[in-house]
Structure 1
Amino acid sequence: MAAMISRRYLSSTTRLAASVKGAPEMPGCDFKPVAYKGLNMEETVKLRKSHLFPSTQSYAYYKKPLMIHQGHMQWLWDHAGKRYLDMFAGIVTVSVGHCHPKVLAAAEGQLKKLWHTTSIYMYPGLQEYVEKLTSKMPGNLKNVYLVNSGSEANDLAMLLARLHSGCYDIIGLRSAYHGTSPNLLGLTALSTWHYNLPVGFGIHHTMNPDPYRGIWGGKYCRDSPVQTTRNCDCQSDKACEAGNQYIAQLEDVLRFCCPKGRIGGMFAESIQGVGGTIQFPKTFLQRAFKIIRDHGGVCISDEVQTGFGRTGEHYWGFEAHGVVPDIVTMAKGIGNGYPMAAVVTTPEIAKSLAAASHFNTFGGGPLACAIGSAVLDVIDEEGLQQNCAKVGTHFLEGLAKLQENYEIIGDVRGKGLMVGVEMVKDRKSKTPLPAADMAEIWETTKDLGVLIGKGGYYGNVFRIKPPMCITKEDVDFTLDVFKTALDRYSGKR
C-alpha cells in the first residue's frame, strides 16, 4: 500500500514538474511533503510588501515568485506541491541536505534538553564541537570563536588582524564579497553592494586575478577540470605569467597605498562566490600570502562558501592553493542552514582579543553546537566531500560540452560543487548578457524545476552550488533543463 501511495505521489509531482511543455523528466523522490495550509500567494505578497524592507522585497527573485513550503535533502516543494531540485542550496548554505535526518535528530534531541545558555557556563557540547572542528584544520589553527553569521566572522577576523599585527591597513581583492556590516562594506569590493557613505577606512583593494575577464590569464591558469578558452602567455609546465602580473599589482598597492613596509592582513576567498565563482591563477594566493607575512600581516581565508568539502579535492578551499592561513572564517554550510559561523586561528593570534572584553551572546550555543557536530559527522559518514569531487567534475564537464554549442556561454569554471557559468552576448567581445536575457533563461530553469542563483558584478554568472548530496542523475537533469532553457531562449523550440 505504501509503495502504491509513493508511486501515485511520484506520478503527481512528475506531472507538476512537467507542466511546462517539453520539460525534461525529473528524477524520482519517495519523500511526501505535508499539504500546505497557510496564507495564499496573494496574501503573502501583500504582507511582504507592507512589512518587509524594500531591499528584502527585491529578493523575491523571480517574476513569478516562489513560495517554498518544505524541503528534503536536495528537494524543495512550493505551496502548490510542485517539486524543485535545489541547485543553489539556500545561497550555498544547505551543505548536507534540507532537513537531513541525522541533523534533524540532533536538533530535536538538543531542543528537548537545553535551547540556550552562553559560554560563560560549561556545557560539554561546546568543547566537544570545537575539538571536532579543529581536527579538520591544518597547522596550528586550534582556537575557535563561534558566532552567528559570515559577516560576524569576517568582522571579528578583521579586528584580530589589526590587533595582532598592530597595523590598521588591510588588503582585499576587487570583486570580493565578505559581508555587509558597516566595517565589511569597505572590504566587500563590489559597487553593487555599496551606499554613498564613508566606509573602508584603511582598506585597499588590489586587482582581481581573474583569468577570464581580467587583463591577464588564460587556458593554463585555473585549478579546475575546465579552463577558459582564452589564450595567454602561460605554458602548462612553467610558471604562470598571469600570476606574476597580478602579484606585481599587489606589490604596487603595498608600495604606494600602505604604511611603508607594513600591512595588517589580507582577506581572500578561495574561489570568489558572490563575485561570480572566480578562480585565481594557481600560484597567486601562495605568493600573495608570503608577501603579506613579509610585511608583518596575517593571512585570512574566507571559507564561508568554499569550506566543508564543497570543492571536492580538499576539505577547505585554501588547501588547493598550497597555503595555511593565519585565520580562517566559515559560515553557511557549517550549520546546514542553522545560523552559525566560526573564526579559527592560532593560539598566539587568539590572545590578541584578551586585552578587552569581547562576547557573543548566541555564538556557540548548545543548539548550534549539536547541529554543527551532526553536520561534520554526515559529511564524513556519507562521503560528501568525495561526492563533490565526483559529481562536480561530471557536472563541469557536462557544462563544458554545452558551451561548445552555445555562443552565449562565455565561460564555465569552478571546482567540485562550486560552479559558475558566465553568460555573454558573444565570446569574442565578452559583453555581459543583458539582465532581461539572463532573467528569461533563469525563469525558464525555475519553471522546469531547477533553482539556480546569479552573481558577478554584471549579474551575468549563473551560480550553481547545490546541497552536497546531489547525484549524477540530478546533474544530468540539470544539464537537460539548462539546455532546454537555452534552446528556448535561442528560439530553437
Structure 2
Amino acid sequence: MSNLNQDHGHSQQASYIGPEGVLEKRKQYFFPCTHHFYRNPPQIVRGKMQYLYDEQGREYVDFFAGVSVVACGHCNEQITAKTIEQLQTLQHTTTIYLTQPMVDLAERLANGVLPGSLKRTFFCNSGSEANEGAMLLARLHTKRRDFIALEYGLHGRTYLTMGVTGIPMWRSDDHLDTGVTFIPRPYDPELDDETAARRSVEALREVLDKKGDTIAAMIVEPIQGNGGMITPPNWYFREVKALLEQYGVLLIADEIQTGFGRTGKMFAMEHYGVVPDIMAMAKALGNGVPIGAFATTDEIAASFNRPSASTFGGNPMSAVTALAVLDYIEHEGLVERAERVGGRLIKGLRILQEKHQLIVDVRGKGFMCGAELRGADAQASADLTDAVLEQMKDLGYIIGKNGTGRNVLAFQPPIIMPSQDVDAMLKALDDVLTACEAGEC
C-alpha cells in the first residue's frame, strides 16, 4: 500500500480548521500542561480499523492505538453497532438503579476472562480511577496504610495513583502521599536482566523486613509501558508474590495498558504464572468508550462494605460496548494474533537492532513492545526519537514514544493489525534509520 494514500471516500470538509487552527485553540483554551507529538502534526479526523486519516484525507497506519486503547480497531463496525443501539435505547441511569448490561459484564468477566479466583468487579471510568479504587480496597482489607511501588512505574493522575507513580514528569503534585516506598524496578541498563531483577527482589525483601506490617499492597505494571516497555524475567513476579504473602501484603496488578490480549495473553500477569489479589483494567475493555474496573476475590471484596458508587461507572453504553469487545476478542482470536503477529513485529525489530547501531534494545511481549534508540547523549537520544517519529509519520505510520528519557519507540497497535502492515512498517523504519545514520535525520 502507499503510505500516503488519499482517503477518496471522505472528501476534505470545509469545517476542518486544520492543524494550525487546532493548535491555536489549544493554546487559547487548554492548560499549558497539554502537549502533542510532532513538529508538523496532522489533524486526525477519522479512523477505520488500523487506519487513521487526517484533514487532507491522508492515510496513516496506527501503531499506537491511542496508547493501547483501540485494540479491536478504530470504529470497529461490529462493536460500534452495539454501542449505537444501546445509546439509542438507554444511555445512563447510574449504578443506583437496576440495569442488565453491567451485571452481564461482571458475570462475563468472572466466568472465563479474569484469572484464578478473581470474581467481583467494581466499574468506574478510567485507569486512574481503577487503580485508585484498587488501592483503597487494599487499605480497607488489610487495615494498613502504606504501599510499595516500582521506580519508573505510571499508575495515574489521581492523588493515590500519582503517589505510587515513579516517573518524575508525571508526579505533578508537590504534596503527594508520603506512605509510598519505591524499590528498583527489575531493569537497569548497566546490569543484565537477571541481576537487575534479583536486586529488585532483594530490595523488596528489605522493605518488607523493616515495615511489612504497615504496607497494604504493592502495585505493579506487568510490563512498564511509559517506563520504556520494561519486561521482567518470567520468574520475577512469582518471587514477588511469594514474598508479599509472607507479610500479608496484597499484590495489585495494573493491567490498564497490558490487559485484554495485547501481550499474547488475556492479561500480562499470565506470562508470569501469577494471579494478583486485585487487578485494575481499562483502555482496551472499551475500545475507545471510557470504562475502568478493578476486580478481586470474594474474600477481599467483602472488605469494601462502606457505601460507594460511581455515577458513570458501568453505564449501559460502556457495559454493552465492553461485552461486544470481549465477544470480538474471542471470536477473532485476538489473543493468539497478538502472540503471533506481535511476535513477528518483535522479531523484525530485533533484526533491525542487529543492522542499526541506533537501536540499543528491543523489549516487550506480543503487541506491546519498544525499541530503545540512543544517540551521543540523553538529549541526542530524545531528539533522534522525535526525528524518527516525524519521518515515520510523513511516511504514513503513527508510532508512540515512551521511556524515562523519552527515547523508546513504542509499538502498541490495534491487535487486528495484519502482518503485511507490520512488514511494511518495518521496511519504512529500516529506511528511516539508514537515513539517520547517514546524517539525514
Band of TM-score, shorter chain: over 0.9
Mapping of 1:284-433 within 5 angstroms?
284-312=236-264, 314-354=265-305, 356-425=306-375, 433=380
Cα distance in 1, alignment partners of residues 272 and 144 from structure 2: 26
Corresponding residue for residue 209 of structure 2: 255
Q: CA deviation at 1:17?
A: 4.6
Q: Unmatched 5+ residue regions in structure 2?
A: none
In the alignment, which of 245, 259, 268 is matched to residue 199 of structure 2? 245
Deviations 1:199-240 (A, max 9, x none): 132111111111x52x5424xx5xxxxxxxxxxxxxxxxxxx
Corresponding residue for residue 278 of structure 1: 230
Structure 2 residue matching 1:171: 3-state secondary structure: strand
Corresponding residue for residue 391 of structure 2: 444
2:257 is the alignment partner of 1:269? no
CA contact (8 A) 2:106 2:121 kept: yes
Cα distance in 1, alignment partners of residues 10 and 136 from structure 2: 45
Mapping of 1:81-92 within 5 angstroms?
81-92=57-68
Q: What TM-score do you get using the length of structure 1 for normalisation?
A: 0.85
Structure 1 residue matching 2:46: 3-state secondary structure: strand
Structure 2 residue matching 1:120: 3-state secondary structure: coil
Q: CA deviation at 1:134?
A: 1.8
Cα distance in 2, alignment partners of residues 46 and 163 from structure 1: 46
Q: CA deviation at 1:15?
A: 7.8
C-alpha distance 40-244 of structure 1, shift in aligned 2 (>3 A): closer
**Which is further off, 189-198 or 456-465?**
189-198
Corresponding residue for residue 54 of structure 1: 32
In the alignment, which of 405, 424, 428 is matched to residue 458 of structure 1? 405
Structure 2 residue matching 1:126: 3-state secondary structure: helix
One-letter code aligned to 1:251 = R
Q: CA deviation at 1:431?
A: 5.7
Cα distance in 2, alignment partners of residues 254 and 149 from structure 1: 31
Q: CA deviation at 1:37?
A: 3.3
Structure 1 residue matching 2:163: 3-state secondary structure: coil
In the alignment, which of 92, 111, 114 is matched to residue 137 of structure 1? 114
Corresponding residue for residue 182 of structure 2: 205
Corresponding residue for residue 436 of structure 2: 489
Mapping of 1:37-116 within 5 angstroms?
37-41=14-18, 42-56=20-34, 58-59=35-36, 61-116=37-92
CA contact (8 A) 2:356 2:434 kept: no
Q: CA deviation at 1:242?
A: 4.6
One-letter code aligned to 2:4 = L
C-alpha distance 15-357 of structure 1, shift in aligned 2 (>3 A): closer
Cα distance in 1, alignment partners of residues 42 and 207 from structure 2: 45
2:177 is the alignment partner of 1:189? no
- Cα-Cα RMSD: 1.9
One-letter code aligned to 1:321 = Y
Cα distance in 1, alignment partners of residues 173 and 386 from structure 2: 28
Cα distance in 2, alignment partners of residues 116 and 162 from structure 1: 31
One-letter code aligned to 1:246 = S
Q: CA deviation at 1:491?
A: 2.0
Structure 2 residue matching 1:84: 3-state secondary structure: strand
One-letter code aligned to 2:273 = G
